[in-house]
């Protein structure tokens, strides 16, 4: 039997790796880092345990890598949505719509970042701090612009962004805990937008 081409072999390996990564996100989100096992991950992915060790030396390395990947995914999605809008209300609306969409269609991503990784491993502490810093910055930048335009009252935009980021996370997590979150998603989105605009005392148009 002829050997498979290098491209075919690589595609099969990439498919196995992708399946394993997707399964790992779900497993860690559902069980948390400490309760999840390598066996859980490979069973969920439908791959052999040797496949896991081909890519990762241990559970911690996989988890840290996953955390960074999912953090980048969420942050880029929100940032792109915010950047594409010109006014603070539209920036809040677009950024929060993006956040809610990810929460609804990729809930394991949000669970992993906000819950599954809490207190997981020492190597994650710095990465969690970086994620929170980057998320805060996404919400702070439009506030700084609005402040320069006198569209919000004078305030410490850094503290305001920290408070908003925490509030948004809490609302999204509570939304995901509902039996049918998609039924409440639009109302939650509108509530977050109105809350944010009231919180910063937006006076512009």
- The H or E element containing residue 134 is helix 122-148
Residue 67: half-sphere exposure toward Cβ, Cα within 13 Å: 28
Q: What is the pTM of this model?
A: 0.86
Per-residue confidence (pLDDT) for residue 17, from 0 to 100: 83
CA 73 to centroid of chain Cα atoms? 6
Per-residue confidence (pLDDT) for residue 12, from 0 to 100: 67
- The answer to whether residues 204 and 151 touch, using CB atoms and an 8 Å cutoff, is yes
Give the residue range(s) of CATH 1.10.357.10 domains in the chain.
60-199
Contacts of 11 (CB under 8 A, 6+ apart): none
Give the residue range(s) of CATH 1.10.10.60 domains in the chain.
1-56
The highest-level CATH class for domain 1-56 is mainly alpha
Which one, of 68, 38, 31, lies nearest residue 56 by Cα? 38
Per-residue confidence (pLDDT) for residue 11, from 0 to 100: 64
Which CATH number describes the domain made up of 60-199?
A: 1.10.357.10
The C-alpha atoms of residue 199 and residue 201 are separated, in whole angstroms, by 6
The C-alpha atoms of residue 37 and residue 153 are separated, in whole angstroms, by 50
pLDDT tens string, the chain, 205 residues long: the values are 444 556 665 666 678 888 888 899 888 888 888 888 999 999 999 999 998 999 999 988 998 888 899 999 999 999 999 998 999 999 999 999 999 999 999 998 888 888 866 666 787 888 888 999 999 999 999 999 999 999 999 999 999 999 999 999 999 999 999 999 999 999 999 999 999 999 999 997 6
The C-alpha atoms of residue 67 and residue 102 are separated, in whole angstroms, by 15
Q: Please report how the helices 38-45 and 6-35 are oriented relative to each other, as an axis angle in degrees rounded to 10.
A: 130
Q: In this structure, what token pair is assigned to residue 44?
A: 């969920």
Phi-psi region at 58: left, alpha or beta (left = phi > 0; alpha = psi -120 to 50): beta
In the DSSP assignment, the letter for residue 112 is: I
Per-residue confidence (pLDDT) for residue 79, from 0 to 100: 97
């Amino acid at each position: 039997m002829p050997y498979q081409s290098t491209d075919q072999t690589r595609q099969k390996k990439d498919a196995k790796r992708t399946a394993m990564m997707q399964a790992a996100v779900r497993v860690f989100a559902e069980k948390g880092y400490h309760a999840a096992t390598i066996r859980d991950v490979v069973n969920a992915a439908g791959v052999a345990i040797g496949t896991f060790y081909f890519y990762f030396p241990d559970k911690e390395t996989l988890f840290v890598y996953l955390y960074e990947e999912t953090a980048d995914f969420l942050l880029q999605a929100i940032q792109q949505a915010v950047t594409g809008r010109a006014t603070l209300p539209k920036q809040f609306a677009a950024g929060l719509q993006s956040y809610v969409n990810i929460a609804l269609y990729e809930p394991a991503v949000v669970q992993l970042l906000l819950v599954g990784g809490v207190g997981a491993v020492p190597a994650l502490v710095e990465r969690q701090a970086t994620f929170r810093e980057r998320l805060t910055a996404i919400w702070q930048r439009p506030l700084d612009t609005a402040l320069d335009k006198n569209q919000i009252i004078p305030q410490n935009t850094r503290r305001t962004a920290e408070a908003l980021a925490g509030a948004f996370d809490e609302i999204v997590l509570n939304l995901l805990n509902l039996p049918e979150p998609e039924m409440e998603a639009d109302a939650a989105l509108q509530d977050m937008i109105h809350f944010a605009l009231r919180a910063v005392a937006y006076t512009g148009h």
